[in-house]
Amino acid sequence: MALSGKRILLIISGGIAAYKSLDLIRRLRERGASVRPVMTEGAQQFITPLAVGALAADHVFTDLFSRQDEQDVGHIRLARDCDLVLVAPATADLMAKMANGLADDLASTVLLATDRPVLAAPAMNPKMWAHAATRRNVETLRGDGIRFIGPMAGEMAESKEAGVGRMAEPLEIVAAVEEMLGAATPGPLSGRKAIVTSGPTHEPIDPVRYIANRSSGRQGHAIAAALAKLGAEVTLVSGPVNIPDPSGMTVIHVERAEEMRDAVLGALPADIAVMVAAVADWRVASSADQKIKKHPGESIPTLALTENPDILRTVGHHTMRPKLVVGFAAETQDVESNARAKLERKGADMIVANDVSPATGIMGGTRNSVKIIRHDGIEQWPDLSKDEVASRLATLIADRFRQG
Ligand code: CTP
């Protein structure tokens, strides 16, 4: 059974979606997990500890100040004697407490005391989910390493209102639990190692200035996540970006192209290399150790540039060349012919070409319209979100391995 022997601490907070937690307990136990429930006071307004305890076949913990519970288990042990803490439903109120480190009841105290991975399944009215305060709290929690499943779009249970706020279905939550605990069925890329580069590079001019570009890292990070989702063991080498590290992989942070090359070569051997980073082609030949000052009357400094290593080309011609090498081509004109030339020059098996002219909004944006260029043909994909491009590309890569 997929979750055999896994111990889940299930925190149920007070929302109408709590009725689904009863089914969730059943689904988790069917797969071999043991479920220890904690209920907030709000949760007990919607479902009873009796029903929860009967389905979980365990004591239900509700009170931070219960002398008996403290003696038997204690809230610190409760927080740590498990493989995963699952908060379902996670109300706006409980998430606000979590984001601010409040600990005024058993659920929030356990969440502050735990050193285990935490998965939250939010459920609330769409307006509450969209509220700036909730947005802030979710961002903070993501930054703290809390994982989320949902909320989903759809009609709310308590009103005819539609929007994003519905708790994920029990089976969706179970799948996320399995993924987090590494119990998911092996994906088509399991056992394969992948290296992905993402984001821009920063090439220093002096200690405070650098040369950069508009890459956000969204496409590269999404590809790394999509490959990991199919089971690959991913090393993501990321330039400076403002988006969070995807979970479930090794992330190496670098600044300069030379550091990126070293990190990529250090991660070899691998089966797959997807070079998405917008690596600066040039760096300043000799960057200054001190801030370059302006001196009135003196001539304006000129920057002498020198070429950066071409990481894709190095990997494409390496003695430890991965079986599948994928590059990107950011073009503003003659997309197809330029991309074809890159395929040859860089020793790649596939080039994902996109038109990054400012009018397309692709660079730094959330959508992408790409052509897949291979030695045996070209495919034009429709306008897609960067996540969709990533999952299609990961599937294409998995197909290639399936075909050998
Ligand atoms: N690339 C790389 N190292 C570099 C430059 C580019 O690994 N120093 C990789 C990119 O990650 C991408 C591919 O090469 O996968 C093509 O990048 P692109 O910027 O489109 O091409 P360039 O090689 O820089 O060529 P040009 O600037 O002439 O278009």
Q: Which domains does the chain have, with CATH numbers?
A: 7-180 (3.40.50.1950), 193-402 (3.40.50.10300)
Cα–Cα distance measured from residue 329 to residue 362, given in angstroms and rounded to the nearest whole number: 13
Residue (of 379, 378, 354) closest to 368 by Cα position: 354
If pLDDT is split at 50, 70 and 90, which confidence band does 114 have?
A: very high
Burial code (b: 16+ CB inside 10 Å, e: under 16) for 372-396 equals bbbeeeeeebeeeebbbbbbbbbeb
**Regarding predicted confidence, which is higher, 379 or 355?**
379
* 252-270 residue pLDDT tens: 999 999 999 999 999 999 9
At a CB cut-off of 8 Å and minimum separation 6, what does 260 contact?
A: 197, 201, 237, 239, 254, 277, 279, 311
Cα–Cα distance measured from residue 221 to residue 105, given in angstroms and rounded to the nearest whole number: 37
* Pair 106, 73: CB distance under 8 Å: no
CA of 358 from ligand 1 middle (Å) equals 18
Cα–Cα distance measured from residue 382 to residue 112, given in angstroms and rounded to the nearest whole number: 45
Radius of gyration of the chain (CA): 25
pTM for the model stands at: 0.65
**Regarding predicted confidence, which is higher, 364 or 112?**
112
- Mark whether 213 is an active-site residue: yes
* 356-385 residue pLDDT tens: 888 887 777 788 889 999 999 999 999 999
Task: Name the active-site residue from 100, 125, 137, 213.
Answer: 213
Cα–Cα distance measured from residue 216 to residue 211, given in angstroms and rounded to the nearest whole number: 15
* 281-332 residue pLDDT tens: 999 999 999 999 988 888 888 999 999 999 999 999 999 999 999 999 988 8
Q: Which of the listed residues 198, 215, 279 should we mutate to test ligand 1's pocket, taking the one with most ligand atoms within 8 A of CB?
A: 279
| Statement: residue 404 has pLDDT above 80 | no
Burial code (b: 16+ CB inside 10 Å, e: under 16) for 151-160 equals beeeebeeee
Q: Is 326 in the pocket of ligand 1 (CB under 6 A)?
A: no
Q: Which of the listed residues 238, 311, 324 should we mutate to test ligand 1's pocket, taking the one with most ligand atoms within 8 A of CB?
A: 311
* Average pLDDT over the chain, rounded to an integer: 93
CA of 198 from ligand 1 middle (Å) equals 12
- Mean pLDDT calculated for residue range 167-175: 93
Residue at 230: amino acid letter: L
